[in-house]
Amino acid sequence: MEIYRFRHALTGFILRNVAGLFLMIGLSATLSAQTGVTVVNDRQEPLAGATVIAQGSSNGETTDSLGRASLSIEQAIWFEISYVGYESRLIYLKPNEWQRVVLSELLTSLGTVKVEGFLDSRTLNEQAGGIARLDIGALQRFGENSLVQAVNTVPGIRFEERAGASYRISIRGSSIRSPFGVRNVKVYWNGIPFTEPGGNTFINLLDLTNVGNVEIIKGPAASIYGAGNGGVLKLQSTSLAGMSNSTSLSASFGSFGLSRQTVVHNSSRENSSLTVKLASQHRDGYREHNEMNRTVLEVDGLFFPSQRRTISTAFLYSDLDYQIPGGLNPDQRAENPRQPRAGSIERNASVDNQLFLAKLGQEYRFASGLQNRTNLGLSFNQFENPFNLDYKKDNQQVLSLRTEFIKAINTTIGEGEITYGTEYQSSFFNGKNFGNVAGQADTIRFADEVRARQSTTFFNARVPLAKNLDITAGISLNTLVYDIDRLIDRINNNPTSFRKEFDAVWSQRIALSKRFNDKHSLHLSLSNGFSPPTTTEVRTNNGDINAAIQGERGTNVELNFRGQPNERLSYDLALFQFRLDDAISSFTDLNGVQLFRNAGETSNKGLELQLRYNWLTQPQGGIRRLTSGLAYTYHDFEYDNFVDGGDDFSGNNLPGTAPHVFNLTTDLELNNGLYLNATYHYSDPIPLNDENTFFSRAYNLVNMRAGFKGKIKERTNFELFLGVENLFDVTYSLGNDLNAFGRRYFQPAPGINYYFGLKLKLNH
């Protein structure tokens, strides 16, 4: 009943406001009294000197310092917008209409990719640390029903899907403490923390339409982003370069009952951009009791009241439910990998989750050159989880605020930058655990109210030491407090209050960056971080409060080599050593309940290599583009000092990490609109328990997608595509249950499966 009321209220809110939203879009289209364009990049920075030429004409205009160009036309006409280093765009412009045109950068090499990184927007060749970026093209190389396959093309990352929409992200082995969900990784969405202050992240609430690009920082980034030794994922929901002033429709279908439909509408004018997205996805699943349904509505707004001020808004509503088939032991997997764990059907093991999130942001450039970015977020989450052992009902509200100031500095040697700011989150969590009788909540076992408050105050400076030599230093102060009130305790008959206030943590980072001849760069960084236990690890499912568990502290030393020896080849090589103290590891008790403990020290050494090769420096014959990429990961992760009772695991490999992972991609695009994306992925066997007595199998995956892009009319584009995943029908698990009771380690992934679909894009 609670879920019904929640959905009913949100549905009413949505229906009442969608009509008003489209009215705003219609009104914004009538406000322009001039004809022309404002040309900007994805970061909304003006592009001065861009060329604006009417089709069929050799004469054109160039944009001024504000990226603006006034045009004189008597009828609607097509214009081509071009700028060096960016992809050209065609726009359809009417008299008395002013459009805001967003161009996307040409990613000709790995080093020229521009990333925000540690709040210093520069190319990868200029930044220290393990940083990667996936644009919309990289995200859409696969079936588009999840982020999993795309993110797994990045070295050092393992994105797992234990069941439909049951995700886990491991950055350099961080999944050791994540039996389910995303932990030890800080996730941002449109500039606000998507990770709640208790440390959990429900990234499965997002559809691919809610992710326009992904930036990944590998390793501790506490000097800027706070808790999370694994790293940081920054998700930007809307990439306007390919979708401004258009309406896109898509439908795709595939094996195991896959069905996905999306609608995306954007209207961009001189001083505003409004985007509406609706996505619906269903899949029956490869295994029994594996169905998934997700519906997501997103509304984004960008407003430019002046040249100095940008206002951003975002509203997200997600409704997700999926069934949990559960882990299998080796005998069950061999007998029938599609069967569920015993009891999963009878007890309706599943998740029903709804989220409403609102975000308001402002970016302001002061006359002095100081810049401020401030984002405020408010979310409401309702989570219901019948499981084999119990039945959970949780409600949570989260308030988030992040503000950062950026100031450019000029010295006689060169330019630098100072960044400082703060982030604050507060949440109220109401959780109830019941018995589970035939899939229904039975007698309440315990109920808690949890208040969590975390803050990060940070300072970062980049200063040139000599020509092409920079030093970057950052420091942050981090606090976290849990107040837990046990209102009902039918297990121990001891309702109580508990406060866990972690010691304030100072986290530092220092880095040196040296560039050679504009082709190669060398970076050295030393950073430390911390990761306190999440509310799930403190408030355990067996009814105990794990007061003894301590936070993790880690130190990372990293050497990065990046460069582009010639026009065709670019590379990104990272060598790192990460040491973690008081590492948190998961284990199961005799009842099969997942619990957590500090596992001593770990030593993680690794090499990560990414190569990109452009077979053609310019189109030849019928081939427009032909590129290949290679990603190789070598991880030597082990317990350095871990003794649990009479068991000494020191020297054992960390569960959940493969020593060698290899990924090869090739993309072919022809001038006639045909394209082909091919991906090969190899993973070594993965240890599944602390004792290293069970391992997953090594596996080789081949995925392919082919399609055709064309035009129906001048203003209507279409794309037909089809694909196959796991081409050679390999038996493997895309996610494993670590240290599982009863040897239930395995979550078998689908065998060979297919998908196909159609996209339509109507340019306004």
Distance CA 709, CA 521 (A): 38
| Per-residue model confidence (pLDDT) at position 5 | 46
Mean pLDDT of 168-182: 74
Mean pLDDT of 76-87: 86
Distance CA 303, CA 47 (A): 18
| Per-residue model confidence (pLDDT) at position 683 | 96
Instruction: Determine what percent of the chain is predicted with pLDDT higher than 70.
Output: 93
Q: Output the six-digit token pair for 366.
A: 């002061």
Q: Output the six-digit token pair for 610.
A: 């990414």
pLDDT exceeds 90 at position 626? yes
Q: Output the six-digit token pair for 557.
A: 């030393």
Instruction: Determine what percent of the chain is predicted with pLDDT higher than 90.
Output: 59
- β-strand pairing of 185-189 with 231-236: parallel
| Least reliable range by pLDDT among 20-29, 497-506, 635-644 | 20-29
pLDDT of 446-484, one tens digit each?
A: 999 999 999 999 999 999 999 999 999 999 999 999 999
| Per-residue model confidence (pLDDT) at position 391 | 94
Mean pLDDT of 273-288: 96
pLDDT of 535-562, one tens digit each?
A: 777 777 676 777 777 778 889 999 999 9
pLDDT exceeds 50 at position 26? no
pLDDT of 325-370, one tens digit each?
A: 999 999 999 999 999 999 999 999 999 999 999 999 999 999 888 9
Distance CA 145, CA 281 (A): 8
Q: Which of 135, 143, 350, 138 is nearest to 260 (CA)?
A: 143
pLDDT exceeds 50 at position 6? no
Q: Which domains does the chain have, with CATH numbers?
A: 2-7+129-763 (2.40.170.20)
| Per-residue model confidence (pLDDT) at position 17 | 45
Prediction pTM value: 0.91
pLDDT of 86-139, one tens digit each?
A: 888 888 888 888 888 888 887 777 777 788 888 777 888 889 999 999 988 899
Distance CA 141, CA 252 (A): 14
Distance CA 513, CA 127 (A): 7
| Per-residue model confidence (pLDDT) at position 285 | 94
The answer to whether 213 touches 135, Cβ cutoff 8 Å, is yes
Distance CA 708, CA 587 (A): 49
pLDDT exceeds 60 at position 510? yes
Mean pLDDT of 569-579: 95
pLDDT exceeds 70 at position 23? no
DSSP state of 4: H
Q: One-letter amino acid identity for 438?
A: A
Mean pLDDT of 267-272: 86
Q: What is the mean pLDDT of the chain?
A: 88
pLDDT exceeds 90 at position 275? yes
The answer to whether 705 touches 142, Cβ cutoff 8 Å, is yes
| Per-residue model confidence (pLDDT) at position 235 | 95
Q: How far is CA 744 from its chain centroid?
A: 29
| Per-residue model confidence (pLDDT) at position 176 | 65
Predicted confidence band of residue 15 (pLDDT cuts 50, 70, 90):
very low
Higher-pLDDT residue of 353, 36: 353
The answer to whether 143 touches 254, Cβ cutoff 8 Å, is yes
| Per-residue model confidence (pLDDT) at position 522 | 96
| Per-residue model confidence (pLDDT) at position 375 | 97
The answer to whether 654 touches 602, Cβ cutoff 8 Å, is yes
| Per-residue model confidence (pLDDT) at position 589 | 67
Mean pLDDT of 695-719: 93
Predicted confidence band of residue 320 (pLDDT cuts 50, 70, 90):
very high
